[in-house]
């Protein structure tokens, strides 16, 4: 295992601080103001951002390093969710065993699917993974209903055995927890502490910080993989797998290992989703979910460490914030305009917000792909380069001028 450099340590520190301080950083506007609509510091959205960041980080290990584009990672996300809920039903509402089972089951499924799909490459590999994902979705939706509860979804019930917790008391469904409710006053995922500072309301949720710590560890593991000899071999596969095969290197074990690791990341994300809300449905295995993680990775910057995190945060922010901007909000924003002009401006903006948030996201994605092939990371690097660029000093009258020699034609 190679040592990580100073830049990687700084990146790790920045990611850690950003994730832990997200309830502050994503709540910049005071409550009750017009701009409060853009705040994203509430637990549900924060949880989704870090969980889908884990999903995208794992996908990037496969796609960003090896170049194998999978459209079937939603199958691992769904299996992770189902496994965690079954653990809640049969064993305990403690989330740790559920998350571990989710990773194991998703890893086993990834081993099976990867062993078959990696016999092909390119578009054929992508189609195979998509086919497996749709097969998994249909199995969960209609064939294996005794295990998945079909379209209703798998959920916990009062009658579940939960052999370690015992029968539910009080007639209310138990909540996922880190420790039993009898300890530390009930350390449950839904526990939220609110801090009022002037006009700002900050919320600190147990479930979010569990997911945040897991995401930090997942990011660190990804960093170690990127900087390891194993990661270098995966990069070589992406660069020219055929040449590696000609040199006698068997690349199959490396790509299969990357596929399994990536699937376990997806299962981890699925287990965390079930830990926040103990319900697992077949919709998490649809091809649209698999396509969403592809968009996250490309938008942020495939093959970069921080790119998948940026892409996941960007897309989940649009999905949850822009989708809530309706005509009432728009009229409130443009209320200073004359009535006729206000209606005209609202009519222009309306298709790009609310239910049309995907149109705005699509336009942004097109612009990124066309002008920033490296994603948001490349955009940030270009902006940083502008500030680092020093203006050239004009040559003084007393400074000697050294013209460049004309190169020889052969050069």
Residues in the chain: 411
Cα separation, 62 vs 231, whole angstroms: 10
Looking only at the bridges linking them, the beta strands covering 192-197 and 200-205 are antiparallel
Cα separation, 142 vs 384, whole angstroms: 52
Report residue 24 as tokens. Answer: 């502050």
Give me the phi and psi of 173, to 5 degrees please.
Answer: -70, 140
Residue 245: the pLDDT is 85
Residue 402: the pLDDT is 57
- In the chain, which stretches have pLDDT less than 50? 408-411
Report residue 9 as tokens. Answer: 């340590």
Helices (H), 174-286: 206-226, 229-246, 252-276
Report residue 281 as tokens. Answer: 């449905």
Cα separation, 40 vs 29, whole angstroms: 10
Strand partners, 188: 177
> CA dihedral in degrees (216, 99, 274, 162; nearest 10)?
-150
The burial of 83, by beta-carbon neighbours within 10 Å (0-12 exposed, 13-18 middle, 19 or more buried), is given as buried
Q: Tell which residue, 283, 222, 292, 286, has the closest CA to residue 258.
A: 222
Per-residue burial over 176-209, b = 16 or more CB atoms within 10 Å of its CB, e = otherwise: bbbeeeeeeeeebbebeeeeeeeebbebbbbbbb
Residue 167: the pLDDT is 62
pLDDT per residue as tens digits for the range 201-258: 899 999 999 999 999 999 999 999 999 999 999 999 999 888 888 888 899 999 999 9
Structural domains of the chain, ranges and CATH numbers in brackets: 6-287 (1.10.3470)
Taking CA atoms, 118 is separated from 64, 132, 230, 247, 248, in Å, by: 16, 13, 18, 20, 18
pTM for this model (two decimals) = 0.91
Cα separation, 349 vs 167, whole angstroms: 53
């Amino acid at each position: 295992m190679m040592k990580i450099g100073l830049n990687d340590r700084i990146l790790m520190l920045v990611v850690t601080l950003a994730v832990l301080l997200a309830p502050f950083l994503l709540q910049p506007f005071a409550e009750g103001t017009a701009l409060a609509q853009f705040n994203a510091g509430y637990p549900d959205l924060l949880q989704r951002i870090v969980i889908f960041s884990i999903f995208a980080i794992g996908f990037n290990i496969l796609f960003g390093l090896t170049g194998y584009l999978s459209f079937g990672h939603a199958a691992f996300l769904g299996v992770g969710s189902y496994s965690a809920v079954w653990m809640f039903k049969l064993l305990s509402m403690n989330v740790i065993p559920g998350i571990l089972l989710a990773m194991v089951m998703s890893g086993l499924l990834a081993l099976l699917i990867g062993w078959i799909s990696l016999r092909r490459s390119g578009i054929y590999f992508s189609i195979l993974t998509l086919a497996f994902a749709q097969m998994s979705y249909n199995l969960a939706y209609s064939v294996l209903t005794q295990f998945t509860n079909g379209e209703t979804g798998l959920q916990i019930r009062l009658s579940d055995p939960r052999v370690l917790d015992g029968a539910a008391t009080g007639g209310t469904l138990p909540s996922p927890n880190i420790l039993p409710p009898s300890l530390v006053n009930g350390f449950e995922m839904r526990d939220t502490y609110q801090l009022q500072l002037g006009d700002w309301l900050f919320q600190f949720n147990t479930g979010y910080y569990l997911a945040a710590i897991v995401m930090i560890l997942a990011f660190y593991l990804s960093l170690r993989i990127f900087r390891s000899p194993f990661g270098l071999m995966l990069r070589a596969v992406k660069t020219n797998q055929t040449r590696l095969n000609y040199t006698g290197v068997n690349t199959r074990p490396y790509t299969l290992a990357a596929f399994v690791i990536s699937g376990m990341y997806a299962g981890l994300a699925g287990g965390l989703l079930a830990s926040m809300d103990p319900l697992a449905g077949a919709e998490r295995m649809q091809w649209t979910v698999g396509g969403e993680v592809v968009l996250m990775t490309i938008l942020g910057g495939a093959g970069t460490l921080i790119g998948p995190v940026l892409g996941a945060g960007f897309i989940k922010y649009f999905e949850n914030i822009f989708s809530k901007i309706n005509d009432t909000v728009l009229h409130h924003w443009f209320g200073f305009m004359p009535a006729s002009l206000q209606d005209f401006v609202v009519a222009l903006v309306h298709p790009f917000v609310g239910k049309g948030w995907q149109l705005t996201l699509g336009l942004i994605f097109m612009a990124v792909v066309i002008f920033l092939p490296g994603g948001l990371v490349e955009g940030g690097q270009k902006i940083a380069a502008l500030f680092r660029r020093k203006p050239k000093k004009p040559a003084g009258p007393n400074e000697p001028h050294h013209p460049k020699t004309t190169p020889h034609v052969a050069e």
